[in-house]
């Protein structure tokens, strides 16, 4: 209670924010426990007053019965009033790592007939569980630029979670690719806020329509693995809202049940107790009605986190991930309420939010109990080995195939037509000799077909179709002579096999993962361990040399890249014998099938790059902070709004391949762009704000349609195919915005010779910038321009908008 008084008073007096920040980051004078319990001190604040700070925002807003949430919240409130304080504390505190079948568990509460909750990773499907699908990761579905595939992937993931009795899907992961080397980029949806936002929106709808709770993570600006528990992401309010918050807002608009505050600090306030971003941004401004759940071991205080808006602590103990049962909450939360440090109403609101989420997706209606044991999947007593894979190989294959971006296709090398002799070169084309799932969470993958990165976002492959397997089947059918060389370092054999063939496909990789695992790259280059983040954005296992060796001998060298993110290609991309390049992301289990479908033209490639591939690493706007002696390293987002392609445009840097780029086996012609204001509030919506000030949260009119964009695309080539028209917006010159920002996209199917009409609407929000002085989304004065193109640099149509 004291904190609330202090914070409000300090804010009102306009006292230096740094003073406030101390209060926000921890509560040194407020007891977390009553004297009869062991004292668990909050982790001390390690920064100093000169650092950027996060303003206080108290008290924590309660749930409301608005819209979709009316019934769930009403039911939850009824339960909560019948619950004892001990029950409330049980509901908001994880049972402790290992105490339950899932990676996170909430105990049952018999008094309200609540069976408990099973929370399970992760973004790519059910982690560490058998008879489940290893779906293509986030970066791959982002590469499809297809809203439909994003949704269908979410649906299939949701069905698998429901079939295994897991209540909560710990995904989607929407941290933008700010620094290309950041370890967990592959779990998310690439480098653009709108692409991420749409993928988040579709994933949440897909998962939750299957009655599974989704958890969008990691809130907020959790952008690298080095210093993952101590680093502070420092960013201004406009960058925060326009770039990093946007995907979370879209997830909330899809009705996401929970949000996971990450390990990091933002503006020197730990995310699990950052009242500005939990109480203010999420619960007030975005009107989030669900619950916040700490990342595993990310909570560092009892009272401060409760008051700042945290609603559930995971895995329950004060650290992750061991069987430590001492908790900041549990019995300590009960004590904190009893001694007046935390209002009962705050804990009741935590519980309301958690139960509302449970009712929101109707998990009270005959939902299965977990039928697996993540902690020991071989234990016959606790694993039923339920097969939930259904026909999800179909959607996985479609996504992995649709995501493949054809980056180079000299002399129409592809598609292949019954080649006489083909060589597959590189370990990624074949299976890993020691078997599937040899490395738990994929930590340690050295070579063999790369299906995903490492960490909690990895899933076990129930099967893995390699290129070796898929292309052999074609070879048999076509009477193609096939050979291979799977040792990445045996250049003599690679040359021999390449020399014999009229097509040589070289398979290369680049890998990264979550910071709790460290993986060395193989000989002979860069043996240094990668602590989650990549040390280099080059190929693993000396891939560049392998390509060069093969291209030196074979004038039809096709390169297939499986990678977590951008890779520098300058050493080989312009080699005249490198005739084609397939950018195949991380494919999950349908690795070879996807590549073969595109190579042989069964699938006309339509994938687009969800990030920029630069010519040199220093062309990117941001880097991982690798070294710091500071107890609380400062990660300053000085590039502001200029993430990825926005930076390349603003600084006029030529990329190797731009954001949104990908070739097709056919050609498309764009025409007839028509743009008109259709909204009720005209050209200038600033007057709409009236007296509506930020304390009310964002108004619904902001998201109403303002502008309709229509155009036609014709397939003028010889093959049916998908095109991915992208709608960019150019803000008025003085707006402070990048030269262009993505605002709409989708993949459309166009049979050869046909024309399709494409329509999109943009909302007032889409046309607005965040004004820090007004604390509102506002129209920028001047002329806007709508740009429609086949990539961020291949703009085909333009139209001004006054
Ligand atoms: C830590 C990771 O950051 C998070 O993404 C994951 O859901 C939890 N561990 C649980 O495994």
Give 416-469 pLDDT, tens digit per residue. Answer: 999 999 999 999 999 999 999 999 999 988 899 999 999 999 999 999 999 999
Does the beta carbon of 119 lie inside 6 Å of ligand 1? no
Q: What does the alpha-carbon distance between residue 214 and residue 121 come to, in Å, rounded to a whole number?
A: 10
Among 265-274, 520-529, 614-623, name the one with the lowest average pLDDT: 520-529
How many angstroms separate the alpha carbon of residue 250 from the centre of ligand 1?
A: 21
Does the beta carbon of 258 lie inside 6 Å of ligand 1? no
pLDDT of amino acid 30: 42
Q: Which residue has the higher pLDDT, 697 or 665?
A: 665
Q: What does the alpha-carbon distance between residue 271 and residue 62 come to, in Å, rounded to a whole number?
A: 19
Residue 785 pLDDT > 80? yes
Does the beta carbon of 466 lie inside 6 Å of ligand 1? no
Q: Which residue has the higher pLDDT, 693 or 178?
A: 178
Average pLDDT, rounded, for the chain: 93
Q: Are 303 and 43 in contact (CB under 8 A)?
A: no
Q: What does the alpha-carbon distance between residue 278 and residue 261 come to, in Å, rounded to a whole number?
A: 8
Residue 193 pLDDT > 70? yes
Does the beta carbon of 295 lie inside 6 Å of ligand 1? yes
Q: What does the alpha-carbon distance between residue 737 and residue 760 come to, in Å, rounded to a whole number?
A: 22
Ramachandran area for residue 268 (φ above 0: left; ψ -120 to 50: alpha; else beta): left
Instruction: Give the pLDDT band of residue 37 (cuts 50, 70, 90).
Output: low
Distances (CA, A) of 559 to 247, 606, 613: 33, 17, 16
Question: Residue 584: which of 694, 510, 655 has the closest Cα?
Answer: 510
Pocket test for ligand 1, best of 227, 296, 322 (most atoms within 8 A of CB): 296
pLDDT of amino acid 688: 87
Instruction: Give the pLDDT band of residue 50 (cuts 50, 70, 90).
Output: confident
C-alpha 603, offset from chain centre: 27
Instruction: HSE, CB side, 13 Å, CA atoms: give it for residue 160.
Output: 30
Instruction: Give the pLDDT band of residue 36 (cuts 50, 70, 90).
Output: low
Q: What does the alpha-carbon distance between residue 692 and residue 680 come to, in Å, rounded to a whole number?
A: 18
Secondary structure E strands in 566-633: 578-583
pLDDT of amino acid 2: 29
Instruction: Give the pLDDT band of residue 9 (cuts 50, 70, 90).
Output: very low
pLDDT of amino acid 10: 28
Residue 6 pLDDT > 70? no
Q: What does the alpha-carbon distance between residue 413 and residue 222 come to, in Å, rounded to a whole number?
A: 42
Pocket test for ligand 1, best of 169, 170, 443 (most atoms within 8 A of CB): 170
Which numbered atom of ligand 1 lies nearest the CA of 456?
Answer: 11
Residue 224 pLDDT > 70? yes
pLDDT of amino acid 1: 27
Residue 35 pLDDT > 70? no
Please list the active-site residues.
Answer: 295
Pocket test for ligand 1, best of 101, 122, 129, 315 (most atoms within 8 A of CB): 122
Q: Which residue has the higher pLDDT, 47 or 338?
A: 338
Q: What does the alpha-carbon distance between residue 795 and residue 285 come to, in Å, rounded to a whole number?
A: 35
pLDDT of amino acid 525: 52
How many angstroms separate the alpha carbon of residue 184 from the centre of ligand 1?
A: 11
Q: Which pair of tokens denotes residue 753? A: 């010779």
pLDDT of amino acid 91: 98
Residue 20 pLDDT > 60? no
How many angstroms separate the alpha carbon of residue 457 from the centre of ligand 1?
A: 8
Does the beta carbon of 779 lie inside 6 Å of ligand 1? no
Instruction: Give the pLDDT band of residue 45 (cuts 50, 70, 90).
Output: low
pLDDT of amino acid 48: 76
**What share of the chain has pLDDT > 70, as a percent?**
93
Give tens-digit pLDDT for 770-780. Answer: 999 999 999 99
Residue 252 pLDDT > 60? yes
- At which residue do the structure tokens 């063999």 appear? 448
Instruction: Give the pLDDT band of residue 13 (cuts 50, 70, 90).
Output: very low
How many angstroms separate the alpha carbon of residue 445 from the centre of ligand 1?
A: 20
Sign of CA dihedral 781, 782, 787, 791: negative
Nearest residue by C-alpha to atom 1 in ligand 1: 296
Q: What does the alpha-carbon distance between residue 435 and residue 182 come to, in Å, rounded to a whole number?
A: 28
Does the beta carbon of 791 lie inside 6 Å of ligand 1? no
pLDDT of amino acid 427: 97
Q: What's the Rg (C-alpha) of the chain? A: 26
Residue 663, beta-bridge partner list: 406
Does the beta carbon of 456 lie inside 6 Å of ligand 1? yes
pLDDT of amino acid 523: 53
Q: What is the mean pLDDT of residues 131-136?
A: 98
Residue 378 pLDDT > 50? yes
pLDDT of amino acid 337: 98
pLDDT of amino acid 21: 33
Does the beta carbon of 217 lie inside 6 Å of ligand 1? yes
Burial class (CB in 10 A: 0-12, 13-18, 19+), 206: buried
- At which residue do the structure tokens 């579905």 appear? 141
Q: Which residue has the higher pLDDT, 692 or 624?
A: 624
Q: Are 360 and 62 in contact (CB under 8 A)?
A: no
């Amino acid at each position: 209670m004291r904190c609330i008084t202090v914070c409000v008073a300090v804010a009102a007096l306009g006292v230096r924010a740094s003073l406030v920040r101390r209060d926000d980051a921890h509560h040194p004078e407020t007891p977390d426990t009553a004297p009869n319990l062991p004292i668990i001190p909050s982790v001390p604040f390690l920064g100093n007053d000169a650092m950027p700070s996060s303003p206080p925002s108290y008290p924590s807003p309660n749930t409301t019965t608005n819209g979709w949430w009316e019934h769930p919240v009403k039911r939850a409130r009824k339960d909560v009033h019948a619950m004892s304080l001990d029950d409330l504390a049980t509901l908001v505190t994880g049972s402790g790592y290992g105490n339950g079948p899932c990676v996170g568990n909430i105990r049952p509460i018999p008094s309200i007939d609540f069976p408990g909750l099973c929370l399970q990773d992760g973004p790519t499907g059910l982690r560490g569980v058998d008879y489940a699908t290893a779906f293509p990761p986030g970066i791959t579905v982002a590469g499809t630029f297809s809203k439909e595939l994003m949704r269908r992937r979410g649906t299939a993931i949701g069905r698998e979670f429901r079939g295994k009795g897991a209540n909560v899907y710990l995904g989607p992961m929407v941290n933008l690719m700010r620094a290309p080397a950041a370890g967990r980029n592959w779990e998310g949806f690439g480098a653009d806020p709108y692409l991420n936002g749409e993928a988040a929106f579709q994933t949440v709808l897909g998962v939750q329509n299957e009655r599974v709770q989704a958890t969008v993570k990691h809130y907020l600006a959790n952008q690298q693995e080095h210093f993952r528990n101590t680093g502070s992401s420092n960013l201004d309010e406009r960058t925060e809202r326009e770039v990093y918050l946007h995907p979370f807002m879209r997830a909330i608009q899809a009705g996401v049940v929970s949000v996971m505050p990450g390990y990091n600090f933002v503006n020197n306030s730990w995310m699990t107790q950052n009242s500005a971003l939990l109480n203010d941004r999420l619960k007030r401004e975005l009107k989030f009605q669900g619950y916040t759940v700490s990342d595993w071991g990310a909570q560092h205080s009892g009272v401060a986190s409760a008051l700042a808006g945290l609603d559930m602590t995971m895995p329950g103990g004060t650290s992750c991930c061991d069987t430590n049962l001492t908790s900041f909450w549990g019995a300590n939360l009960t004590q904190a309420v009893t001694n007046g440090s935390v209002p009962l109403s705050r804990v009741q609101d935590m519980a309301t939010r958690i139960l509302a989420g449970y009712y929101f997706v109707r998990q009270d209606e005959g939902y299965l109990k977990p039928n697996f044991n993540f902690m020991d999947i071989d234990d016959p007593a606790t694993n039923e080995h339920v097969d939930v894979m259904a026909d999800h190989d179909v959607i996985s294959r479609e996504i992995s195939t649709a995501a493949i971006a054809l980056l180079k296709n000299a002399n129409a090398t592809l598609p292949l037509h019954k080649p006489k002799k083909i060589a597959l070169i590189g370990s990624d084309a074949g299976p890993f000799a020691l078997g599937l799932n040899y490395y738990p969470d994929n930590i340690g993958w050295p070579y063999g077909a790369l299906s995903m990165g490492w960490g909690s976002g990895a899933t076990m492959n129930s099967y893995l179709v390699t290129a070796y397997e898929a292309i052999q089947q074609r070879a048999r059918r076509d009477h193609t002579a096939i050979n291979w060389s799977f040792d990445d370092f045996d250049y003599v054999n690679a040359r021999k096999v390449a020399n014999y063939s009229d097509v040589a496909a070289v398979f290369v990789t680049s890998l990264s993962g979550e910071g709790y695992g460290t993986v060395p790259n193989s000989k002979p280059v860069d043996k240094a361990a990668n602590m989650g983040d990549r040390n280099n954005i080059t190929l693993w296992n000396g891939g560049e040399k392998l390509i060069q060796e093969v291209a030196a001998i074979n004038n039809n060298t096709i390169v297939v890249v499986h990678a977590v993110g951008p890779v520098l290609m300058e050493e080989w991309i312009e080699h005249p014998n490198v005739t084609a390049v397939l950018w195949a992301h991380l494919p999950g289990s349908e690795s070879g099938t996807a590549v073969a479908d595109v190579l042989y033209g069964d699938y006309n490639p339509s994938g687009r790059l969800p990030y920029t591939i630069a010519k040199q690493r220093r062309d990117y706007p941001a880097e991982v902070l690798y070294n710091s002696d500071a107890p609380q390293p400062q990660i300053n987002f000085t590039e502001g709004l200029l993430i990825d392609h926005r930076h390349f445009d603003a600084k006029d840097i030529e990329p190797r391949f731009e954001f949104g780029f990908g070739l097709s086996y056919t050609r498309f012609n764009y025409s007839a762009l028509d743009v008109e204001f259709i909204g009720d509030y005209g050209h200038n919506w600033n007057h709409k704000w009236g007296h509506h000030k930020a304390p009310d949260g964002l108004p619904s009119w902001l998201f109403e349609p303002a502008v309709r964009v229509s155009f036609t695309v014709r397939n003028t080539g010889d093959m049916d195919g998908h095109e991915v028209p992208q709608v960019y917006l150019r803000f008025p010159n003085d707006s402070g915005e990048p030269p262009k920002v993505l605002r709409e996209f989708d993949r459309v199917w166009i049979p050869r010779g046909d024309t399709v009409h494409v329509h999109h609407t943009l909302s007032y929000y889409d046309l607005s910038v965040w004004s820090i002085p007004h604390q509102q989304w506002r129209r920028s004065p001047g002329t806007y321009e709508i740009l429609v193109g086949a990539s961020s640099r291949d703009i085909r149509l333009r139209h001004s908008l006054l």
